[in-house]
Amino acid sequence: MYDHQNKHNSQPRYTPLKTLEVFKAVNRSFPHTDEINHIHDQGGKVFGWLCTYVPEEILHAAGILPVRITGYDRETDLDDGNAYLYMNNCSFSRSCLQMGLTKEYAFLDGVVGGSTCDGARRLFDLWRQYIGTPFHHVLTVPRKYTENAHSLYLAEVEMFKTHLEDHLEIKITDEELMGSIELYNQTRSLLRELYNHRKKPNPPISGSEVMEVLDACFRMPKESFNHHLKKLLQELDGSQNAYSGRARLMLSGSVLANPDFISSIEQQGGLVVADELCTSTRYWGDMVEVQPGEPPLKALARRYLNNYPCARMFPSEERFRRIIETAREFKVDGVISEIIRYCVPYSHDLPLLTKRLADINIPVLSIDLEYGSSGSGQIATRVQAFLEMIEAKK
Amino acid sequence: MLSIGIDIGSLTTKTVVLNNGRFLASVVSETLDEAEISAQVAMTKALERIDADEDPLRFVVTTGAGAKGVSFSDRSKAITTCLARGIAYCVPEARAVIDIGAESSTVVKTNERGKVLDWANHDKCAAGTGIFLQQMAKLMKLSFEEMSELSETASKGADITGTCAVFAESEVISHVHRVPPTPMPEIILGIYLSVSSRIKTMCKRIGANEKIALSGGVALHKGLVRTLEKEIGQPLFVPDDPVCVAALGAAVLAGEEIQKETAQ
């Protein structure tokens, strides 16, 4: 209509990334992907996990395919979810419950969560009661980083492993754990490489495309995910694609799985280059480092508690420090905080975080939304105003 | 070349025409079902007013709720950017502007060049907006002038604490039907105070604490302005035409775009 207005968004040199189609296909067909069907045909097991404080490697070492429970990555009616969970539970927990109650997670042979926030805890209470997945486990996750916290969490991780072993009537050996750690570390370093592309002044991949990759990462066996991600990285190395925008933006918040939400920001001319989300950097941020002679379980527990922190952790300093580090590393001009309505940990941290970022001259746009939102007109208006403010400051 | 700013609000569409920074005309018209038609009608009226050609050389900047859907717009800008520029044009000394429109309220902090430093808005609920005041006036069967006058005689404001327009309305109804009923002036002052406290919070949030101007249709509502000034603790600058500030800003931005293009 008015092309001259959209010159910021035009990407003339853009050629579609072939490997991205593989990931998109997985996301479209999940949970009925070929890989999951194959595992079930072979008598294998698929477990769902919820929250980045669940050590996924243990599930993998037990021969299970771990997939992340992300609820509907679209905004939908939550009739059943609303009937069982009170409205002040976040719409993420209601969305997951809705999918559970409508039997869309019936393919799961087990669920594992962390007692990280009330939303997750209430969801699991109800899951246990009404959904009847054959295996349930909730890890208690301390909120601090003290020595006591670490030994408590290690004990929790050990308990989880034993529970799983008893349920499956197997033993998970240290060698198996080491193998899984190695595989997952490979995923982490490949994702870091992917993110390094986003540090470029004109990244070859957009924020919404990266979200497709991450979503697929939660839904595929890591073996095949790594294989395809390597191919994608090769493609990016030779790619002429170069995204540009009015400002480099970072997303901050809890769970976000809808690439359309990021698209809606990018359509306004924002270049989303970095993030601090449960479904991204906080998931793959740190490697598991096993010291010589150390039991792998101990290294796992240490990594998962010390990882890029959730807003639930105390003190908040470590999270703020990392956010500022990420913001600088990716040279962001502004941060968009997306908070799922009634998410207590993130909304309570926000004023402190805003202040910290203001001190280094990075403005914050705070958006509260329902989980799965694709970005309404109201959000677009705010993003537009935010971008104009950043441009005026430049 | 004319610089034209069109602000398509939820109730009215405002148009301002400038030529080389010089004010030519402003027109307020009703917002119709479609943004495109509202903007077209508003612009035609404004051009008639200055006896310009039907299709003069022009640069059009649109803003407001329907800004994006206008085909003849050369650029659409966020309302915050327009408010900042508009207030810098008509009240150069202002460093913040409170805009209370029909369905939203916004506070923008600006610098001396009319650039946005920060902003806060409230557009999820009608409480604290023009529509809310209109609804209350209707409920009490009073005109805005009568409301303003009556509020002056109040010694204190009735408690209206609802943060939602619907709940606030039911609070007002219960004040009216109380035995004995709460005196009308107190109810009115209570309504003003509930709107003012919302605005005050937004000012606080972004640190807009001095040289504040007021824009939007509600700036014409004298009683409310008086209460707001008392609550904020300082006089507010009210421009001659508070309704058209955002459209004026859009026209100023259109002028900037023309300059940019000629410079190239």
Domains of chain A, by residue range, sit at 20-173, 176-393
B32 touches chain A (CB under 8 A): no
pLDDT bucket at B165, cuts 50 / 70 / 90: confident
Dihedral (CA of A290, A293, A297, A301) sign? negative
Q: Is the pLDDT of residue A70 over 80?
A: yes
3-state secondary structure of A90: coil
Domain, as residue range, for B156 = 93-238
Q: Min CA distance, B79 vs chain A (Å)? A: 7
Nearest Cα to Cα of residue A276 among A284, A267, A288, A266: A284
Q: Quick one: tokens of B59? A: 């640069």
Give 3-state DSSP helix, strand, coil % of chain B, rounded to 5. Answer: 45, 20, 35
Nearest to B80 among A4, A378, A389 (CB): A389
Give the pLDDT score at A13.
60
B109 and B56 in a common domain: no
B26 and B81 in a common domain: yes
Nearest Cα to Cα of residue A193 among A213, A218, A178: A213
pLDDT bucket at B169, cuts 50 / 70 / 90: confident
Fold of A176-393: Rossmann fold (3.40.50)
Average pLDDT over residues B220-235: 94
In this structure, of A292-296, A303-307, B146-150, B158-162, the range with the lowest mean pLDDT score is B158-162
Give the pLDDT score at A381.
87
Give the pLDDT score at A374.
87
B98 and B63 in a common domain: no
B196 and B98 in a common domain: yes
B12 and B133 in a common domain: no
Cα separation, A140 vs A142, whole angstroms = 7
Topology agreement, domain A20-173 and domain A176-393: yes
- Domain made up of A20-173: CATH architecture: 3-Layer(aba) Sandwich (3.40)
Task: Give burial (CB, 10 Å; 0-12/13-18/19+) of B72.
Answer: middle
> Do residues A288 and A303 make contact, with C-beta atoms less than 8 angstroms apart?
yes
Cα separation, B55 vs B198, whole angstroms = 43
B69 and B178 in a common domain: no
Amino acid at A191: L
Mean pLDDT of chain B: 91
B39 and B147 in a common domain: no
Closest-approach residue (CA) in chain B for A363: B118
Cα separation, A339 vs A277, whole angstroms = 10
Characterise A359 by phi-psi region: left (phi > 0), alpha (psi -120 to 50), beta (else): alpha
- pLDDT tens for B228-259 read 999 999 999 999 999 999 999 999 999 999 99
Give the pLDDT score at A75.
81
Q: Which residues pair with A68 in a beta bridge?
A: A49
Please identify which residue in the block is written with the tokens 């202002």.
B94
B62 touches chain A (CB under 8 A): no
Average pLDDT over residues B193-211: 90
Give 3-state DSSP helix, strand, coil % of chain A, rounded to 5. Answer: 50, 10, 35
pLDDT bucket at B164, cuts 50 / 70 / 90: confident
B254 and B168 in a common domain: no
Nearest Cα to Cα of residue B224 among B93, B91, B100: B100
> Do residues B3 and B18 make contact, with C-beta atoms less than 8 angstroms apart?
yes
Give the pLDDT score at A82.
85
Q: Quick one: tokens of A326? A: 């990420």
pLDDT bucket at A7, cuts 50 / 70 / 90: very low
- pLDDT tens for A34-43 read 999 999 999 9
B213 and B135 in a common domain: yes
Average pLDDT over residues A176-195: 97
Contacts of B119 in chain A (CB under 8 A): 385, 389
Q: Min CA distance, A384 vs chain B (Å)? A: 6
B77 and B147 in a common domain: no
Per-residue DSSP letters for B20-68?
Answer: TTEEEEEEEEE--SSHHHHHHHHHHHHHHHTT--SS-SEEEEEEETTGG
Q: Which residues pair with B215 in a beta bridge?
A: B99
CATH number, domain of B85, equals 3.30.420.40
Q: Is the pLDDT of residue A4 over 50?
A: no
Nearest to B116 among A2, A382, A389 (CB): A389
Q: Are strands A334-340 and A110-114 parallel, antiparallel or unpaired?
A: unpaired
Give the pLDDT score at B124.
64
3-state secondary structure of B110: strand
Cα separation, B119 vs A366, whole angstroms = 11
For chain B, positions 115-144, list CB contacts with chain A under 8 A. 115-119, 121, 123
- Asked whether the bond before A315 is cis by omega within 30 degrees of 0, the reply is yes
B228 and B116 in a common domain: yes
Nearest to B80 among A1, A363, A385 (CB): A385
Total domains in chain B come to 2
> Do residues B164 and B125 make contact, with C-beta atoms less than 8 angstroms apart?
yes
Cβ separation of B81 and A385 shorter than 8 Å? Answer: yes
B79 and B11 in a common domain: yes
Residue ranges of E strands in chain B: 2-8, 12-19, 22-30, 58-64, 75-76, 96-100, 105-110, 116-122, 212-215
- pLDDT tens for A11-36 read 456 888 999 999 999 999 998 899 99
Closest-approach residue (CA) in chain A for B84: A389
Cβ separation of A388 and B116 shorter than 8 Å? Answer: yes
- pLDDT tens for A236-285 read 999 999 999 999 999 999 999 999 999 999 999 999 999 999 999 999 99
Give the pLDDT score at A8.
46
Q: Which residues contact A282 (CB under 8 A, 6 or more apart)?
A: A52, A276, A307, A308, A309, A310
Share of chain A above pLDDT 90, in %: 84
Give the pLDDT score at A10.
47
Nearest to B119 among A1, A4, A385 (CB): A385
pTM of this structure? 0.84
For chain B, positions 69-98, list CB contacts with chain A under 8 A. 71, 73-81
Cβ separation of A388 and B77 shorter than 8 Å? Answer: yes
Q: Are strands A110-114 and B212-215 parallel, antiparallel or unpaired?
A: unpaired
Per-residue DSSP letters for A164-207?
Answer: HHHHHT----HHHHHHHHHHHHHHHHHHHHHHHHHTSSS-SS-H
Q: Quick one: tokens of A211? A: 């979200």
Cα separation, A228 vs A27, whole angstroms = 14
Q: Is the pLDDT of residue B95 over 50?
A: yes
- pLDDT tens for A335-382 read 999 999 889 999 999 999 999 999 999 999 999 899 998 887 778 889
